[in-house]
Chains A and B, each alone.
Chain A
């Protein structure tokens, strides 16, 4: 079973920030938090990952709470093309299988 809990769906207005929450209260000390998204049955796309510190790249920001039991993915200026299912996964680094939940279906509205 997936070790994360996400809301099944969210809406966001185009141009606004989309904040996607994820709970991972049983995360272990050596587990990273990964975010992927899947746009309409395409192959999943890696977004960002982090261990303890907040991370930012050209796609998004990842905010991890100090106790590491939850995190938030932030898309700073959502566009219609960001409409997708977003998956939060905890995993002890690379070279291991990923356990996928059902993710959050984000709808960006014009």
Chain B
């Protein structure tokens, strides 16, 4: 039973390029969450999705960031026109439906903008 799979593990982009981060949740999990972690800081919530629906995007920057979780395939976090301040670790977590379960996190994608 594979865990939460994120790819790529490391991503280097030049300023102005697009970054696309992928997350495949655990089998049977229908809820996906994206978090960002800057160096020496805690995790910051970005967005919560269910299949084909964005449930809570209160942590997403208003511009350049978008997320989707299509009916088929992984969840995608897209960052357009990246800037140096986007350099961070991006973690995806998944959970089953219901109350009282812990999240399962992926290993993260380390984005470096040069």
A residues contacting B by CB (< 8 A) are: 2, 32, 34, 36, 41-49, 51, 87, 93-103
Contacts and interface: CB of A to CB of B under 8 A. Distances in A.
Given A87-B42, A99-B45, A94 B105 contact: no
- Measured as residues with beta carbon below 8 angstroms from the partner, the interface class of chain B is 20 to 34
B33 A93 contact: no
Interface of B: 4, 6, 31, 33, 35, 37, 41-45, 48, 55-56, 58-59, 89, 91, 93, 95-108
A71 B107 CA distance: 28
A43 B33 contact: no
A76 B41 CA distance: 28
A44 B107 CA distance: 8
Contact of B105 (A43, A93, A101, A103): A43
Given A51-B100, A94-B98, A95-B97, A43 B106 contact: yes
